[in-house]
Structure 1
Amino acid sequence: MSNQLDELRKFTTVVADTGDFQSMREHRPTDATTNPSLILKAIQKEVYRPLLEQTIRDHPNASTSQTLDHLLIKFGKQILDIVPGRVSTEVDARLSFDTDATIQRARHLIGLYEKEGMSRDRILIKIASTWEGINAARILQNEGIKCNMTLLFSMAQAVACANAQVQLISPFVGRIYDWYKKNAGNDWIEEDNAGVNDPGVKSVTRIFNYFKKHDIKTEIMGASFRNKGQIIALAGCDLLTISPELLASLSSNNEAIQPALNTENPSELDIDPIAINEASFRFMLNEDAMGTEKLAEGIRAFVADSIKLDRIIEQARA
């Protein structure tokens, strides 16, 4: 009998949201995503420490930032030996508001992968969905460097990414849920905000329907899940990136899953196109308290973990 993970694979591409190789081997995702927090978590485990030590030996004269890039490529290459599809590697979040620096770092990462014999078709460069990041992605996509736009919480970000013709967006389901739950305080009723009524699920569903209605080719990958119900409520989304814990939960359950998102008749959806330029993007995001706060919070968190990674590298080099 197939389990829920097997059922989900029938209509959604399953992606591992982890830097843990063993989890990927166990759950057999198609793709994998990483970020500074996941790499930090992995590198603090003894089993992955040799990757850092080998990176330092291979590049003894590299700066801390250069060593971090080489470490990201080493993780990415190992992941590509496990998964049949793509790996996402993130540009340093400290560059989130610098278009030119983001472009240069993305080109550098792709170049490192290609020196290791990895095709750029299997690499997605992750970039924060700021206006500057989206503009960088527009240029990179035209160069054949595929981008995964992360820290995406709003329709304004999604439409701007679609206009830039990026490869993939990663709307964050769980973090949207977290914001609404925190803001509701004692008025939050979990049962009333579960499944299709979950605010994170509703946000991704709205983006999904908009993209299908307007024949937008950018892939949608739901991310940052807090519970299995959120995943099931988005079954049928193009991709879902799922933590090892929730992959295990799906693997251990045999209840049926049906597609929750439907693309059979998108032309029948009554959804008007949204015009986006820099001014309207910034205004729409400003009007969205959740989107504004979670984007800023997410960048700060990734920066903090990048700084911790820098310190681990420096200590290992000492």
Structure 2
Amino acid sequence: MKFFLDTANVDEIRRINDLGLCDGVTTNPSLINKEGRDFKEVISEIASFVEGPISAEVTSYDYESMVKEARDLSKWADNIVVKIPMTEDGLRAINILSKEGVRTNCTLIFSLSQALMAMKAGASYVSPFMGRIDDMGEDGARLVYDIRTIIDTYGFDCEIIAASIRSIKNFEDAALAGAHIATVPGNLFEKLWSHVLTDQGIDKFKKDWEAFEGK
């Protein structure tokens, strides 16, 4: 499973990228807004040092504007993937863009039928929102599993980006369910490699070694 960072914070991305754990980045207007910087400037900077796909989301919602915006976004760097919302206009935009060779990430997926429609339209990626689905009292991991079954059964050229990852359990469930990718907030990454028993073990080794050196 590939790891994407769900953030527009360049420092967070550089930190995880230096560990060899950043296979790509997803952003959205809310994340860009938090950074208080120019949209194109942030995306271009991220794309300059992250080799994998960088998802940049359109801010328009009608078909013609989305297509126009997506064409412009795709020219910012070779690894740009355009995020398109799951709507009728979004599907129409994905269809035309896929025929032009523009890679798309259909976002805000909450059902199997939505994912299937996006894949049929030509989306390169689909993003089921696991955390939000769980909030609705449904099973986000099961949706990921079902989407993966559809991909494997029918041979769609599409990858699943497990989104809205809010906890270690969400992350692990995404892996078990067969997600190709999990996109993780920067503040969750450190929790993934940390464990209280690991910390206790290191402390014990340090104390034992200090005792040994003191003899």
CA positional deviation for 1:132: 1.1
Q: What does residue 179 of structure 1 align with?
A: 136
CA positional deviation for 1:232: 0.4
CA positional deviation for 1:253: 3.9
Q: What does residue 217 of structure 1 align with?
A: 157
After superposition, residues 159-198 of structure 1 pair within 5 angstroms as: 159-180=116-137
Q: What does residue 242 of structure 1 align with?
A: 184
- Give the residue type in structure 2 aligned to 1:232: E
Q: What does residue 53 of structure 2 align with?
A: 86
Structure 1: runs of 5+ lacking an equivalent: 1-11, 44-51, 53-70, 181-197, 256-318
- Give the residue type in structure 1 aligned to 2:65: A
CA positional deviation for 1:108: 2.2
- Secondary structure of the residue aligned to 1:234 is helix
Indicate whether 1:36 and 2:29 are aligned: yes
CA positional deviation for 1:207: 1.0
CA positional deviation for 1:217: 1.4
Q: 1:135 aligns with which of 87, 92, 102?
A: 92
Please identify runs of 4+ aligned residues in structure 1 that moved more than 3 A.
none
CA positional deviation for 1:254: 9.5
Aligned length: 191
Q: What does residue 203 of structure 2 align with?
A: none
Q: What does residue 12 of structure 2 align with?
A: 23
Contact 1:35 1:89 in 2 (8 A): yes
Q: 1:75 aligns with which of 16, 36, 42?
A: 42
Distance 1:243 1:147 in 2: 21
After superposition, residues 92-171 of structure 1 pair within 5 angstroms as: 92=59, 95-96=60-61, 98-111=62-75, 113=76, 118-119=77-78, 122-171=79-128
- Give the residue type in structure 2 aligned to 1:90: E
Change (3 A) 1:212 1:141: same
- Secondary structure of the residue aligned to 1:144 is coil
Name the structure with the higher helix share: 1
- Give the residue type in structure 2 aligned to 1:42: E
Contact 2:23 2:50 in 1 (8 A): yes
CA positional deviation for 1:25: 1.6
Structure 2: runs of 5+ lacking an equivalent: 198-215
- Give the residue type in structure 2 aligned to 1:124: V
Higher RCO (C-alpha under 8 Å, 6+ residues apart): 1
Distance 2:89 2:47 in 1: 29
Change (3 A) 1:156 1:27: same
| Cα RMSD after superposing both structures | 1.7
- Secondary structure of the residue aligned to 1:216 is coil
Distance 1:246 1:32 in 2: 14
TM-score by length of 2: 0.84
Contact 1:137 1:164 in 2 (8 A): yes
- Give the residue type in structure 2 aligned to 1:110: S
Change (3 A) 1:253 1:213: farther
Distance 1:103 1:224 in 2: 25
Q: What does residue 170 of structure 2 align with?
A: 230
- State the percentage of identical aligned residues: 31
CA positional deviation for 1:251: 2.2
CA positional deviation for 1:82: 2.8
CA positional deviation for 1:243: 0.5
Q: What does residue 204 of structure 2 align with?
A: none
Distance 1:40 1:245 in 2: 17
Distance 1:109 1:18 in 2: 18
